[in-house]
């Protein structure tokens, strides 16, 4: 396999990556170290930890992390490893605890990660030197991001400044988890992200997803429009402008905001739902009668929020769907999907779980099938990087460009550190 630095150097803008980026174990190891180990990644929502003592765990590469809601309602994060002999502290995906107690020898930590009990260690033992190793945690309007680096990128604050006004009206804090689904895709995590960053494939592969979506909402080639389509595009753009003005007047930021080139890259936009659409369901009506926040009008379009390197989110008037991506191996990726509804909504009365889940469960499986085919293609001798459409795949290019720059910056930083020595 070519040297990783050579692969980075010869990457052609506007084209997919070379095959080793999707298949090589050493590149995946680098991805875990640099991309997932030094950047902010989305891992949970605050409604997953609604009460003090609620705890969730997440695995990133070889690292096991735990998030804990404290008595002060703040969420703290730690490496899920006892400081005695390294036993895993919390072995469940989600649980409720008082203190953090290691079942092996009973070492006990408080909500700040401080060691408060360690029997039989002698009078000279200093508990203050053996607290849990903490990680950075930042909640943005109820979406929980973590960073494993010693020095986390500080531009997370720009993302918070921009995104909180968009997300806050949907009132994530007053939602509850209706369902969580874990799907393992047979493909590299970058193929999962690339697939998400375009809807070029949607019309031919997502009949359920596209029911309330305009074909013009995700890019189009102006060279392929006849007179009728040109008029349709004009009408759509006029509707988009009018809807944005209306939503903005209602206190709902809606215009596209693109910060994909940032270290903590992100993008957001609110798009209309067609056919008098209220929500992302097969009949385009709300999935839950209990609207979020203070909403009284269900027809608020759909707010989407995409982040590098591992998440996307969709906010409706009645429910929210969040997605996180975690690499498992060069050709296995975990996609975790969480559906949120108003905390006072009752299943069977205010919403049907099947109706709530239907569109995205089907879409996730359809995407998984496409990612599998893409992965198989990258493993064949005939594969070579192909061109992205500048009209329908600019955000795929933005992701790949961001990814390559992060790795280049990593190697440049290491070179500078060696030179300084």
Q: What whole-number distance in Å separates Cα of residue 170 and Cα of residue 298?
A: 12
Phi, psi of 335 (to 5 degrees): -115, 110
Domain made up of 157-397: CATH architecture: Alpha-Beta Complex (3.90)
Give the max Cα distance, the chain. 86
DSSP state of 403: H
Does residue 298 carry a pLDDT above 70?
yes
Strand ranges (E), 141-256? 143-147, 175-185
Does residue 234 carry a pLDDT above 90?
no
Does residue 59 carry a pLDDT above 70?
yes
Q: What confidence tens digit (pLDDT) does each residue in 45-57 have?
A: 999 999 999 999 9
Phi, psi of 75 (to 5 degrees): -100, 125
CB distance 133 to 79 below 8 Å: yes
Q: What confidence tens digit (pLDDT) does each residue in 155-199 have?
A: 999 999 999 999 999 999 999 999 999 999 999 999 999 999 999
What is the mean pLDDT of the segment spanning 280-304?
96
Output the six-digit token pair for 31.
């991805």
pLDDT band with cut points at 50, 70 and 90 for residue 417: low
Does residue 132 carry a pLDDT above 60?
yes
Does residue 316 carry a pLDDT above 80?
yes
Q: What whole-number distance in Å separates Cα of residue 384 and Cα of residue 400?
A: 15
CB distance 170 to 320 below 8 Å: yes
Domain-by-domain residue ranges, the chain?
157-397
What is the mean pLDDT of the segment spanning 238-261?
94
DSSP state of 280: S
Q: Between 233 and 85, where is the model more confident?
A: 85
Q: Compute CA distances 156 → 4, 79, 96, 140, whole Å.
A: 28, 21, 29, 9
Q: What percent of the chain has pLDDT over 70?
A: 97
Q: What percent of the chain has pLDDT over 90?
A: 89
Mean pLDDT for the chain overall: 95
Q: Between 212 and 403, where is the model more confident?
A: 403
Does residue 135 carry a pLDDT above 90?
yes
Per-residue pLDDT at 2: 64
Does residue 357 carry a pLDDT above 70?
yes
CB distance 288 to 345 below 8 Å: yes
What is the mean pLDDT of the segment spanning 78-84?
98
Which stretch of 76-80, 106-110, 114-118, 226-230 has the lowest confidence by average pLDDT? 226-230
Per-residue pLDDT at 419: 56
Output the six-digit token pair for 280.
């992302």
Strand ranges (E), 272-349? 302-307, 311-315, 319-329, 332-342
Per-residue pLDDT at 421: 56
Tell me the three state secondary structure of residue 158: helix
Provide the β-strand partners of residue 68. 55, 76
What is the mean pLDDT of the segment spanning 107-111?
98
Per-residue pLDDT at 384: 97
pTM, entire model: 0.96
- CA geometry: angle 80, 124, 132, nearest 5 deg: 15
């Amino acid at each position: 396999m070519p040297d990783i630095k050579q692969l980075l150097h010869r990457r052609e803008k506007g084209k997919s990556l070379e095959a080793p980026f999707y298949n090589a174990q050493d590149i995946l190891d680098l991805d875990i170290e640099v991309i997932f180990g030094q950047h902010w990644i989305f891992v949970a929502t605050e409604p997953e930890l609604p009460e003090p003592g609620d705890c969730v765990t997440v695995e990133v590469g070889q690292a096991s992390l735990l998030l804990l809601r404290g008595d002060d309602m703040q969420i703290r994060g730690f490496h899920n490893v006892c400081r005695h002999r390294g036993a895993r502290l919390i072995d469940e995906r989600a649980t409720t605890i008082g203190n953090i107690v290691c079942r092996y020898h009973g070492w006990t930590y408080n909500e700040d990660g401080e060691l408060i009990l360690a029997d039989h260690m002698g009078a000279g033992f200093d508990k203050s030197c053996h607290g849990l190793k903490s990680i950075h945690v930042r909640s943005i309007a109820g979406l929980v991001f973590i960073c494993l680096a010693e020095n986390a990128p500080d531009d997370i604050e720009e993302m918070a400044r921009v995104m909180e006004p968009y997300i806050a009206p949907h009132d994530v804090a007053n939602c509850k988890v209706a369902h969580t689904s874990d799907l393992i895709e047979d493909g590299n995590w970058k193929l999962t992200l690339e697939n998400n960053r375009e809807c070029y494939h949607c019309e031919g592969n997502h009949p359920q997803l596209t029911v309330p979506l305009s074909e013009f909402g995700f890019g189009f080639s102006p060279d392929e429009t006849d007179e009728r389509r040109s008029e349709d595009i004009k009408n759509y753009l006029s509707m988009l402008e009018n809807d944005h003005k209306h939503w903005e007047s209602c206190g709902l930021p809606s215009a596209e905001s693109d910060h994909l080139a940032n270290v903590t890259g992100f993008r957001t936009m609110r798009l209309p739902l067609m056919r008098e659409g209220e929500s992302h369901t097969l009949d385009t009506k709300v999935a839950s009668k209990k609207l979020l926040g203070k909403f009284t009008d269900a027809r608020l379009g759909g707010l989407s929020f995409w982040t590098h390197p591992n998440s996307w989110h969709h906010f409706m008037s009645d429910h929210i769907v969040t997605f996180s991506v975690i690499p498992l191996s060069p050709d296995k990726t975990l996609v975790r999907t969480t559906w949120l509804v108003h905390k006072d909504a009752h299943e069977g009365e205010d919403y049907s779980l099947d109706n709530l889940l239907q569109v995205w469960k089907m879409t996730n499986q359809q995407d998984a099938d496409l990612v599998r085919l893409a992965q198989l293609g990258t493993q064949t001798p005939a594969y070579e990087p192909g061109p992205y459409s500048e009209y329908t795949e600019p955000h795929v290019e933005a992701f790949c460009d961001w990814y390559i720059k992060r790795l280049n910056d990593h190697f440049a930083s290491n070179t500078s550190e060696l030179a300084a020595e």
